[in-house]
Chain A
Amino acid sequence: MKFIHFIKLIVLLTCTFNGVNTVNAENLINKEKILFDEPKAFSFDASKLKANGQFIKSKAKFFIQTNVADSISSSHDFSNLTPIQLTGRIRVAPDDVGKKAEIIVVASYNGVFYIKSELGWQKWDGRIDHLVAIKKPQALQGIEDINIVSDLAILGSFKIYLGYRLNGALHHSKHGLGFRIYKGKTVKLGKLNDTGITWGTDYPNRKNNTHCIGTIIQQQDCSQGLDAQAAAGTLTKIGGGRAGFDFTKLDGNGQPLDAKASNWSCVKDNHTGLIWEIKTDNGSIHDKDNTYRWGGVTALGSGTKGRYYSDWDILVNGSNAESLCGFSNWRVPTSAELGSLVDFSRKDIAIDTDYFSYALPGVWSSEPYAVDSANLAWIVGFKSGNTGHTQRLKMLQVLLVHSQQ
């Protein structure tokens, strides 16, 4: 592993030092006193690039502004899902106002230079005498605003430079505005459950209180979030549940039941939106005493690393076959999903036992542990509520989840 990084680094260093992909920039530095900054295609360094207040040689000031959905953004990473607009502004040097000059826009895209002309963007070979203006020479105003590009959504690394040429002298932004457009994915909101903690700790006395009082209490868990709202009586719930939890019991067809119902087949978490299988004590595939080795249907990872046992297929496939609570796409949850159920205010059964009746000392997640061929996978233990990893061949419980697509 380390050796690969070693090689990568050599390549990286070589490329950077030799200035590969910088289109004669080095030659230009020697031949011309004024030139555009060398783009660093291999090391995108957001901290050194400022959206505003670009450095100048002349008394002119150059600004480039990025807008996403009509609001100014100082980010240097943009998703291609929301096109960006780039606007340039030149505060022309006082002495140059009123004089005829050519405004020039240069962009490096993935290490290749482009210039914007009246005809659109075209490649630039890096020669100063080949620079063309965005339009015909014009008398400069005190402030020149330039529409550089609207609706930019192609993937890659960019660097944009501004300048104007007056009497053969090039006034320009020394450092370009650098940014990156990456392939965006729509992010689904995944609300977090609160922890169930409604009490504080006295630090010097080494003791937990029964209420939300204690050392620097405003920073302690009990002062924040849904549990605090529940304790204050300001939390509106769809269903029931201890502290900030909001659960609804469902019957075998997925119909909501009263919180006091004594028979139910699933639990809906109204905050996360997840629907959970519950364990039973009736000898069915859902029995609390059924345990499995890790792997099988809906386990994550390619299946190429370590052992994947198929023990829990009987539970997943069986639940789908019987259309448990009306759903036939049950899966083993991620450790984060499983962990959302933990009530940290309880020990031994760290979950709301009004909804999940049986102890769940060790429950498999669908996630393999990220060490090569380690034969480990992630679990949540509802004795204390911890998330950790253990040997895949251990016999542990599984609690299935269903999420709406």
Chain B
Amino acid sequence: MYFLILFLLLPFQLAYSQECQSDYPQTTPSDRFEIHGDGSVTDKKTKLIWKRCLQGLSGENCSQGTFFKGTWEQALQEAENNPGWRLPNIKELQSIVEKQCTEPAINIQIFPGNLSAVWSSTPDVYSYFVWDVNFKYGYTSTREASHSFQVRLVRSEQ
């Protein structure tokens, strides 16, 4: 019996590893967002429209498919392959960091799925370095463009 329960729990354990401090303020409460049926979500605060899933993933829990991971150039190309969408700049990408939580530092009701570093469109002053947000903990950093990171696309409200 216990074996069965543990067996059932295993995949859930991974999905539930996010840690949130409920007595710290939420930076991205769910009611800031309006989810659309097409897999996108509007951030009513910033008026940006985001894809709920990282590139490559789909489904309501973004659990189908394999997430895109590539160099910055591949990330630019991936965005280019999705007409109407673009790579967010570093400030836009930071605007969906949930500072109440870590692992991942994002509102998983709005943006499901586990996250690590995600490319921005913002190059660093030092050539060949590019800004990214590490969504495991929420901080920003600059990395060589040859690193392989994930992509989340955005567009501006018309």
B-contacting residues of A (Cβ < 8 Å)?
A: 1-2, 5-6, 9-10, 13, 45-48, 51, 74-77, 79, 182-185, 187-195, 197, 199-201, 203, 206-208, 215-216, 218-221, 224-225, 300-302, 304-305, 334-336, 339-340, 342, 344-347, 367-372, 378, 384-389
Please name all residues of chain B whose beta carbon is closer than 8 Å to the beta carbon of A13 when the two chains form the complex: 8
B25 and A5 contacting across the interface, CB-CB below 8 Å: no
Task: Assess A182 versus B19: contact at CB under 8 Å? Given A47-B60, A221-B120.
Answer: no
A301 and B44 contacting across the interface, CB-CB below 8 Å: no
A-contacting residues of B (Cβ < 8 Å)?
A: 5, 8-9, 12-13, 16-17, 19-21, 23-25, 27, 29-32, 34-37, 44-48, 59-61, 72-73, 76-77, 79-80, 86-87, 89-92, 94-95, 99-102, 105, 120-128, 130-131, 137-142, 145
**A356–B46 CA distance with the chains assembled, in angstroms:** 25
Task: Assess A387 versus B35: contact at CB under 8 Å? Given A190-B46, A208-B125.
Answer: no
Please name all residues of chain B whose beta carbon is closer than 8 Å to the beta carbon of A184 when the two chains form the complex: 31
Please name all residues of chain A whose beta carbon is closer than 8 Å to the beta carbon of B45 when the two chains form the complex: 187-190
Q: How many A-B residue pairs have CB under 8 A?
A: 181
A224 and B86 contacting across the interface, CB-CB below 8 Å: yes
A201 and B145 contacting across the interface, CB-CB below 8 Å: yes
Please name all residues of chain A whose beta carbon is closer than 8 Å to the beta carbon of B32 when the two chains form the complex: 187
Most buried by B among A182, A203, A342: A203
CB distance from A307 to the nearest CB of B (A): 15
B87 and A386 contacting across the interface, CB-CB below 8 Å: no
**A201–B87 CA distance with the chains assembled, in angstroms:** 15
Q: List 24 A-B contacts (CB under 8 A).
A: A6-B9, A6-B13, A46-B35, A75-B36, A187-B31, A189-B47, A192-B48, A192-B92, A193-B91, A195-B91, A197-B123, A201-B130, A208-B125, A216-B76, A219-B77, A219-B79, A220-B76, A220-B87, A301-B25, A368-B21, A369-B99, A371-B102, A388-B141, A389-B137
Please name all residues of chain A whose beta carbon is closer than 8 Å to the beta carbon of B138 when the two chains form the complex: 387
**A47–B53 CA distance with the chains assembled, in angstroms:** 14
A194 and B91 contacting across the interface, CB-CB below 8 Å: yes
CB distance from A220 to the nearest CB of B (A): 5
Closest to A227 in B: B89
Q: Which of B17, B27, B120 contacts A2 (CB 8 A)?
A: B17
Please name all residues of chain A whose beta carbon is closer than 8 Å to the beta carbon of B126 when the two chains form the complex: 347
**A122–B24 CA distance with the chains assembled, in angstroms:** 41
Q: Which of A207, A216, A301 contacts B24 (CB 8 A)?
A: A301
**A399–B48 CA distance with the chains assembled, in angstroms:** 28
B27 and A336 contacting across the interface, CB-CB below 8 Å: yes
B60 and A334 contacting across the interface, CB-CB below 8 Å: no
Task: Assess A388 versus B89: contact at CB under 8 Å? Given A75-B35, A334-B27, A347-B125.
Answer: no
Q: Which of A182, A192, A335, A385 contacts B99 (CB 8 A)?
A: A335
CB distance from A103 to the nearest CB of B (A): 27
